[in-house]
Amino acid sequence: MVLKYIEEYRDGTLARAIIKKIQAVSKKKLRLMEVCGTHTTSIFRHGIRSVLPECITLLSGPGCPVCVTAQKDIDAFVEFSRLDNVIVTTFGDLIKVPGSSSSLGKEKAAGADVRIVYSVFDAITIARENKEKEVVFCGVGFETTIPTIAGGILMGIQEKLDNFSIYSANKLTPPALAALMETDGVKIDGFILPGHVSVITGTNAYRDTFEKYNIPSVISGFEPIDILNTILLLIQQNEVGKPALENAYPRAVSDQGNEKAKLIMNQIFKVCNATWRGIGDIPLSGMSLKKEYEKFDAAIKFGMDMPDMPEPKGCACGEILMGLKTPEQCGLYKKKCTPMTPVGPCMVSSEGSCAAFYRYA
């Protein structure tokens, strides 16, 4: 399982050449936002911030699915785990996210049956093996994850599993970018667009947003050479004043994206309004199950409708996700809020910007 591409895309000589170019062309003060949490982590892990000119500021955007999950959805997950005869299946990062009264991790320690899975198909296996129990899957993901969840529903139909359901807190990326651009005070000079999401959506998914706001936008891979190259392209676009939508990850991303994945996603799910933590309601930015698949909808099956709760006092996750604040500007950061005692989700998720700052900065 040796992954050769790692060496090539982490090559020190190549990296230094790109860094030199960046230093040569960079004049203006720029604020570039990496939308995806995996980019945030990679930028920190490879020390990319430390090699950029001082006039370049990197902001971490709303691209970590756990970080943008609304308080009411976290509360719903906790509530499911408190029900008798229910097994809650979830991705590991969600376990510690505090809801308004508890977290899945705390409920697990108190005896709830909460199981970490690596994919929706693990949840299907658990449902198959525990027919006498109800299995609820916490659906938290972007375009990268939603097609596999749809695949899980298809499998559930095929196997006539009536003890399996999902709670969909799934979200779409392009509407969030547009919402960011519409928010007062937000100042972004370029988007480092997510690689994984774009594999599914394709470059075309960003055209409307790009044309409306005319903002430099480059799709990036996740290795240091990919990211440095993307930053160079964004700086060049800004310096010459010619914004463009570019794909700097062509080895994985096409214009159309993954048609098959999009087909499955749109077969099972429909676009709906969604609440983003810290940002609020964004029209047509979520995905819920279509009417004909309602029997797999845990919210309907269990009549789960949690009230919208205010986010923890002092938590600046929302402003951080929009690039209005850095984690260090949050009053709770490193004081009340640490990875051991997280207050907001950005400190919990391994891809959250506060956790990345805490760990690497």
Partner 1 sequence: MIEEKVLLDHGSGGKVSHSMFSDLILPLFENPELSKQDDGATLDIEGTKLAFSTDSYVVDPIFFPGGNIGDLAVNGTINDIAMCGANPKFISVGLIIEEGLPVKDLKKILETMAVAAKKAGVKIVTGDTKVVPKGKADKIFINTSGIGVIPPHIDVSGSNAKPGDKIIISGTIADHGIAILSSREGLKFDSEIKTDSAPLNGMVQSIIQSECDIHVLRDPTRGGLGTTLNEIALQSGVGMNINELSLPIRGAVQGTCELLGFDPLYIANEGKLIAFVPEKDSLKALEIIQQNEFGKDAVIIGEVTKKDPGRVFLQTRIGGKRVIDMLTGEQLPRIC
Task: Write out the residues near partner 1 by the rule CB under 8 A.
Answer: 1-3, 6, 10-12, 15-16, 19, 44-51, 96, 105-106, 109-110, 117-118, 122, 125, 224, 228, 338-341, 350, 355, 358-361
Closest approach of partner 1 to the CB of residue 311, in Å: 21
CA distance 284 to 172: 8
Closest contact distance (angstroms) between CB of 16 and partner 1 is 6
Record the tokens describing residue 214, joined without a space: 């005319």
Query: Minimum distance between the CB of residue 96 and partner 1, rounded to whole angstroms?
Result: 7
Q: In the β-sheet with 245-247, what is the strand arrangement from edge to edge?
A: 56-60, 30-34, 190-193, 217-219, 245-247
Residues 343 and 332: beta-carbon distance below 8 Å: yes
CB of 291 to partner 1, least distance (A): 33
Least distance to partner 1 from the beta carbon of 177, Å? 24
Which residue, 6 or 55, is less far from partner 1 as judged by CB?
6
Question: What is the distance in angstroms between the CA of the first residue and the CA of the last residue of the chain?
Answer: 31
* Residue whose CB is less far from partner 1, 41 or 288: 41
Q: How far is the CB of 259 from partner 1 (least distance, A)?
A: 25
Give the angle subtended at the CA of 359 by the CAs of 103 and 355, to the nearest 5°. 35
The pair phi, psi for residue 276, each rounded to 5°, is -105, 135
Decide if 348 contacts 66 (C-beta within 8 A): yes
Q: What is the DSSP string of 123-136?
A: HHHHHHH-TTSEEE
CB nearer partner 1, residue 103 or residue 237: 103
- Write the DSSP assignment of 55-120 as a string of letters: TEEEEE-S--TTTTB-HHHHHHHHHHHHSTTEEEEE-GGGTT---SS--HHHHHHTT--EEE-SSH
Alpha-carbon distance of 279 to 317, in angstroms, equals 9
Give the nearer residue to partner 1 in terms of CB position, either 266 or 338. Answer: 338
Q: How far is the CB of 336 from partner 1 (least distance, A)?
A: 11
Question: Considering beta carbons, is residue 76 or 348 the nearer one to partner 1?
Answer: 348
Q: Which is nearer to partner 1, 6 or 24 (CB)?
A: 6
Q: Is 185 exposed, middle or buried (0-12, 13-18, 19+ CB in 10 A)?
A: exposed
Which lies closer to partner 1 via its Cβ, residue 96 or residue 262? 96
